[in-house]
Amino acid sequence: MNTQNDIIEKTKIRRVYLSDLHHIQSLYKEKHTNVSDTNTTPQNSRLLLTEDFGLPIALAEYNKEVIGYAAVVIHAGKQPQIQLYFKQGYQQTAIEILLNDYARKVLSSLNESDPNAGFKLESDIGKIVSWLNKCQ
């Protein structure tokens, strides 16, 4: 059995790759349907994403399994915010802090030289959500 310290020490925080999107999408749907992947029905597996899904920019990986991710979302006020999602049992303050800090660095690198970055992010979120919904 893995201890909390073992999980924290062996958790890898990194950027999101295209190949990660399936796992991220499953985690998002699990959180929004309160159903685990093993109990997914055809109806909730086709749950359409909305802009609340955001733009995934960082993830937490433990033993090559995606246990959490950070996404940029844009709410009222048009300010980009980082939203964290975790698999049940893996949400720990230390991992949350590491993932949030890494996601802030990634977001900062996306925004650093573009005065219209907020509008671009909003457009990018809409595009990825639309694309993922078409791929279902």
For residue 39, the model assigns a pLDDT of 44
- Residue 69, pLDDT > 70, answer yes
For residue 1, the model assigns a pLDDT of 52
Q: Express each pLDDT in 34-62 by its tens digit.
A: 644 444 444 555 678 988 999 999 999 99
For residue 114, the model assigns a pLDDT of 72
Q: Right CATH number for 4-135 from 3.30.310, 3.40.630, 1.10.530, 1.10.287?
A: 3.40.630
Q: What percent of the chain has pLDDT over 90?
A: 49
- Residue 89, pLDDT > 50, answer yes
For residue 2, the model assigns a pLDDT of 65
How far apart are alpha carbons 68 and 58 in whole angstroms?
Answer: 9
Domain ranges of the chain: 4-135
**Residue-by-residue DSSP string for 28-79:** HHHHHHT--GGG--HHHHTPPP-GGG-EEEEEEEETTEEEEEEEEEE-TTS-
Give the best-scoring range by mean pLDDT among 73-77, 103-107, 118-122.
Answer: 103-107
More confident residue, 93 or 60: 60
Average pLDDT over residues 67-85: 88
Q: Which of 45, 36, 93, 99 is nearest to 70 (CA)?
A: 99
More confident residue, 17 or 34: 17
